[in-house]
Each structure stands twice: as C-alpha cells, then as structure tokens.
A and B are shown apart, each in its own frame.
Chain A
Amino acid sequence: MPLTFYLEVLLQGVLTGLVYGLMALGLSVIFGVVRVVNFAHGEFAVLGMYAAFVLFTAFRIDPFLAMLPIAALFFVLGYGLQRALINPFVGRPEHEQFILLVGVAIILVNGCLIVFGPEARHPNLPYAFDSFQVGPMILDKVRVYAAIAAILVSAALFAFFRFTTTGTAIRACADNLVGAAVVGLDVKRLYALTFGLGLACVGAAGSLMVTLADATPMIGPAYTFLAFTIVIVGGMGSMGGALVGGLLIGVAEASATFILPPSMKSMASFALLVAILVLRPQGLLGKRA
C-alpha cells in the first residue's frame, strides 16, 4: 500500500469535500445575510437527492443535467418559503427560528419517508463504475464530475455576488442592514432572493450527492449536521470558508478510513468541530463577532 493509495483516498476526499462545500455554501449564504439558521438544510439536500433520483428513473435525465432545473425549482421554493414562512421570524429569538425550521425539517424527512419509504435509493447511472486513470491513481468518474459541477455552481454564485447589482445589494444587507434600508433597498425581497439562492445551492448539491451516496429519508439530520460542521469550521457567513471547510471535512472523513471503520468516519469531522470550537470559535475564515 504505497503512497499512491493514500494520495488516491485523499484526492477522493477532496472531490467529495467540494460537493459538501457547495451544500454548506447554501447554509452559509443564508446565515450570513438573513441571519436565520436553516436547520432544515440537510433535509432539503435529501429532497434534492430524491428529486434527481425521480427525474432519472422516470425520464432518464442525467443528475448532472437535472441539477439545473432542480436548482431553479429550489430557488422558487426558497423564495416562497422565506416570503411566507420565515420572514416574520427574522429578528425573533434564536430558539423560535430554530423551532420553526425544525418543524420544516421534520415534515420534510417524514414526507420523504411516506412517499419514498425507508429504503436507500440511488439512480443506476450507466457510468457509475467508470473511472479515470490519473498517473498511477484511479478516480471515480462520478466523483470527478460532481466536483467539477460543484466548482462551477460555486463560481457562478461568487460571480453573482461580486459582479451583479443585486448581488452587491445583498452583500450590502449583510454588511449593514440599517444602511441598506436607508438607501432604499427592498430588504424583504433581497432576503427572499438570498434564501432562494441558498436553497438552489443545496438543491444542486443534493443532485450531485445522489451520484455519490444513497438517498434515504433518515440521512437528512446527518447532512444538516455535516453542513453545520463545515460552516462552523470554515466560519459562519463566510462563503470561502464554506468551501474550505467542505474540503477539510471531506479530507478528514476520507483519511479517517485509514484508522477507523467506515461507519465511524464522522468521528473525524466531530473531532475537527470540537477542535475548532475550542481553538477558534469564529471558524477558520470567519471574523470575530
């Protein structure tokens, strides 16, 4: 078991970590702007996984293509959700927001359970077992595709926030809410847009995830936990931090399999989380609150 084996595992971890990062990016954007913690985040990811699964089994649409309509759909969903349900809770005590979204999460998990049953589902992609040969290393084809797609979506989001007027306006809300309202920005609409974008990220991430892991209803809380861990490791509200955190967690979980049984791999992210919380609570790229 030479060096290449370790490199291979680590590289697979990097690729998976990019998809994790995309999922966490959605959480981070929502928290950074709307200041609401989306406690149903992983459940939405699972919903995205099921959406991609259904589109593939019913219409033979490749998850890497289905990602786009699913993201669009999730954007609309998020926009509506923020407008109708969450907006009245902006600024209310943290535990009230929490409970509202726990309610959403419970409904999503058990809705999926009722509709799809408890079995693990995954699309039977024709190229699921193909791989790329990179020098002496072998990388799963789907993992490489998923990572590339995650990078593209993240880059698009970064560009939106950096270069468009709306993106700048959203950043203004995050930086200085009162100032944003004073100069006449429609904060409610921008919040709804942000929540929509956050869910679009998680919808896209879910479509990618279903090519790497099985969809089961009960995995929702685990993904919520994963997204939180990533965002806290990277820094709450920092977009770059979400991606860095995703990479770190992906690598940590992959390298944990060197010493632990696979069912215990989330121990590694837990250790990382505790270390970060103790040593640098604001996260790697976060600013001190």
Chain B
Amino acid sequence: MNAISKLIARTPGRGLVLLAIFFAVLAALPPFLDRYLLSVMFLIFWFATVSQAWNVMMGFCGQLSLGHALYVGLGGYVAALLYVGFGVPVIVGVFPAMLVAVAFGAAIGFLSFRFGIEGVYFALLTIAFAEVTRIGFDNWPLMGGAAGLFIPVRAGGGGEWWNLRGGPVLFYYVGLLLMAIALVVCSLLRFSRLGYAWLAVREDPEAARALGINVFRAKMSAIMISSAMTAVAGSVYAFYQNNLFPSQAFDISRSIELILAPIVGGLGTLIGPILGAFILTPLGQGLIAATEAIVGKAVPGANLVFYGIALMAIIWFAPAGVWPWLKKKLAIPEERS
C-alpha cells in the first residue's frame, strides 16, 4: 500500500483527476451498452492489458518481441485444459498458466540474452518459438490438436465468475479490472529500481553495464514479467472465446496485432497502450462494419489492410506515438515536481 500511495503522490494532479474520471465513467457504462458494444469494450480493455505487458519488454527494456501470441496461447491453453480436464477454477488455473508462460519466456530469454542475441535476431527468435509452439499444439492430440479445444458453455449463461462463465457484462468488468491492474503494476514497475534499470538498458546497454546494472538479469525480469501478464490476459481471452485453435492462438498476425496499440499510443509510456487500444480497436471494428455495409458482405482482410496503413502512417508521422503529443495538449507535466 505504501508503494501505491507513493505512486499517487508522484502522479501529476491533473492526470490523476482525468484517470479517476476515465475509470469512473467506464465503471458506470455497461447499463447503457448493448451486447455488441460490450464485446467491443472488452476487446479494448483486453488489448490495453496485453499492450501494457508487451510495453514492459519493448517500451521499457527495449527488447522487440514479435512472438507475444505465444504467451497468450499458452495462458489460454493451460487455464482451459485445467478447467476442462480437471475442473480447476480459472481463478486458480491462471497461476499455473502464468508459470508455464514464464518458463517459456525464461527459456527464450536465456537462449537470447546469454548469447548476445539482440534486435532483429531476438525478434526472429521470438517468432520462431511462437511458430514452433503452434506446430507442436497442432500435432498434440491431448490439446485438441488442429481441431481445437472447446470450453463448455453453461446453460443459462451461468453466474460462476470464478470460472469466467458468464455474460458480456462479466467480461466487461473483468477486462476493466485487468486493464486497471496492468496499469497500476506497470506504473509501480516503471518507477521502481528495476524500471530505471530497464530504461538504462534500453538506452545504452554498455553504459548500463558500466553503471553496475546486471543487464542480463534486467532483460530476464522484463521478459518474465511480460510473459506472466500476457498469460493472464490469454487465459481470460480463451474463456471469452470458449475455444482455442493453435492456428489462431499462436498466430503471427495476433503477435503483430498486439504490438500496434502501444506503438500507436506511445512506446514506453504508461497511458500509451491504453490510448492505442482505444483508438485502434474501435477503428478496426468500425472498418469491419463499414466494409460490410458498403460491399454487402464481410471482406476478410480489409480491416488488416487498414491496420497496415495505420501502422505505416503512425511510424511515418509520429514515431513517438499519440500520447506524448496529447499529453502536451492536456498540459500534463512529466512528473510531479
């Protein structure tokens, strides 16, 4: 609690007020939303959470991971298998899910950081691991193989929140909670000793080493924390979808989808991932609806073409992201002085 009160003391007053209003409005919103909008909001919260997790690695520590779908998929599969196979409640199953994801993250990190694999090579290795895991799950009958793993739906929508069996309102609040927790966790991390070590490693690993920072350990903790957070989000997503297919859970395109929001919002910032999710998800959903309305049928891929264009435009015009620009407009200072 001490850390939290410190965090609040540190946050600029104007920012704190805006954040409080933001979350209060979101908490009061569900009665005014229909099923579709609730699900869109869940997706926004979900992407904001995963973006926050990815941002720990890339935004704070400067390690480009292009295989975060791996942790989403692992988190989902472990929690789902424990629930379907052994009746373990999701709220318990999420911990082994985190553990498995962390083990994979640690393996990738150990392989890479131990042997000085950086930048593009590291990014490639993360893709490689995600791909191989996908192929593995495709050929693993216990996990349902390519035919998928299905989570039974309770008749009547069920009110079992501890098993994530419920309607869109339940998922709305779970998503909101996840997003808030991720924000708090990342804020605490960002201003911790470890957080400053990450920034130093991101800016200049050699200089960081000279300052006595254990670069290897800093990178390892980044990938392990990031994978754990992603796994939590992954298990929630699996229960939201009620099914898991290796070709979707571990897909490269999902890995890429995950990294858009923090980049658009602002790499390395705390609000950027949330802002990015609030910009991109409605735009993507709106574009799907718009093409359907114009063409008369769903055009698969059209929204992704748009994503591609948005990605290029952002990196072309505002490589630092939207949040740094907006922060200036809202006159929020960097930190309380």
Give A contacts to B, CB under 8 Å. Answer: 37, 85, 88, 92, 94-96, 98-100, 102-107, 109-111, 113-114, 118, 217, 221-222, 225, 228-229, 232, 261, 263-264, 266-267, 270, 273-274, 277-278, 281
Q: Which of B30-38, B90-98, B187-195, B311-319 contacts A (4 or more CB under 8 A)?
A: B311-319
Task: Tell me the smallest distance from the CB of A26 to a CB of chain B, in Å.
Answer: 16
Q: Which residues of A contact B312 (CB under 8 A)?
A: 85, 99-100, 103-104
Do B111 and A225 have beta carbons less than 8 Å apart?
no
Q: Which residues of A contact B263 (CB under 8 A)?
A: 99
Q: Among the listed A105, A221, A261, A281, which residue makes an inter-chain contact with B308, where contact means beta carbons less than 8 Å apart?
A: A105
18 sample A-B contacts, Cβ–Cβ < 8 Å, listed by A number: A37-B120, A88-B316, A94-B120, A96-B319, A99-B263, A100-B315, A104-B308, A106-B308, A106-B311, A109-B304, A110-B304, A110-B305, A111-B305, A114-B299, A118-B300, A267-B135, A273-B125, A278-B115
Do A106 and B307 have beta carbons less than 8 Å apart?
yes
B85 interface hit (Cβ, 8 Å): no
Do B119 and A94 have beta carbons less than 8 Å apart?
yes
Q: Among the listed A37, A92, A113, which residue makes an inter-chain contact with B301, where contact means beta carbons less than 8 Å apart?
A: A113
Minimum-distance CB pairs A-B, first 4: A106-B308, A110-B301, A103-B312, A113-B301
B128 interface hit (Cβ, 8 Å): yes
Q: Among the listed A96, A118, A225, A267, which residue makes an inter-chain contact with B127, where contact means beta carbons less than 8 Å apart?
A: A225
Do A114 and B301 have beta carbons less than 8 Å apart?
yes
Q: Which residues of B contact A270 (CB under 8 A)?
A: 128, 131-132
Do A100 and B299 have beta carbons less than 8 Å apart?
no
B242 interface hit (Cβ, 8 Å): no
B18 interface hit (Cβ, 8 Å): no
Known: A106-B308, A263-B139. A95 touches B64 (CB 8 A): yes
B252 interface hit (Cβ, 8 Å): yes
Q: Which residues of A contact B58 (CB under 8 A)?
A: 95
Do B124 and A281 have beta carbons less than 8 Å apart?
no
CA distance A221 to B135 in the complex (A): 14
The proximity string for B residues 290-304 relative to A, scoring 1 for CB distances below 8 Å and 0 otherwise, is 000000000111101
Q: Residue among A104, A229, A232, A261 with the most chain B CB within 10 A?
A: A232
Q: Which residues of A contact B128 (CB under 8 A)?
A: 225, 229, 270, 273-274
Q: Which residues of B contact A278 (CB under 8 A)?
A: 111, 115
CA distance A100 to B314 in the complex (A): 9
Q: Among the listed A99, A109, A110, which residue makes an inter-chain contact with B311, where contact means beta carbons less than 8 Å apart?
A: A99
CA distance A105 to B135 in the complex (A): 22
B99 interface hit (Cβ, 8 Å): no
**For chain B residues 48-72, which have a beta carbon within 8 Å of chain A?**
58, 64
The number of inter-chain residue pairs (CB within 8 angstroms) is 109
B285 interface hit (Cβ, 8 Å): no
Task: Tell me the smallest distance from the CB of A58 to a CB of chain B, in Å.
Answer: 23
CA distance A104 to B256 in the complex (A): 13
CA distance A217 to B291 in the complex (A): 20
Do B131 and A225 have beta carbons less than 8 Å apart?
yes
The proximity string for B residues 116-160 relative to A, scoring 1 for CB distances below 8 Å and 0 otherwise, is 110111011101100110010011000000000000000000000
Do B125 and A277 have beta carbons less than 8 Å apart?
yes
CA distance A267 to B134 in the complex (A): 11
Do B120 and A110 have beta carbons less than 8 Å apart?
no
**For chain B residues 245-291, which have a beta carbon within 8 Å of chain A?**
252-253, 256, 259, 263, 267
Task: Tell me the smallest distance from the CB of B107 to a CB of chain A, in Å.
Answer: 10
Known: A100-B312, A281-B115. A107 touches B135 (CB 8 A): no
Do B121 and A281 have beta carbons less than 8 Å apart?
yes
Q: Which residues of B contact A95 (CB under 8 A)?
A: 58, 64, 267
CA distance A225 to B67 in the complex (A): 12
Do A106 and B315 have beta carbons less than 8 Å apart?
no
CA distance A285 to B80 in the complex (A): 45
Known: A95-B64, A114-B301, A274-B111. A103 touches B311 (CB 8 A): yes
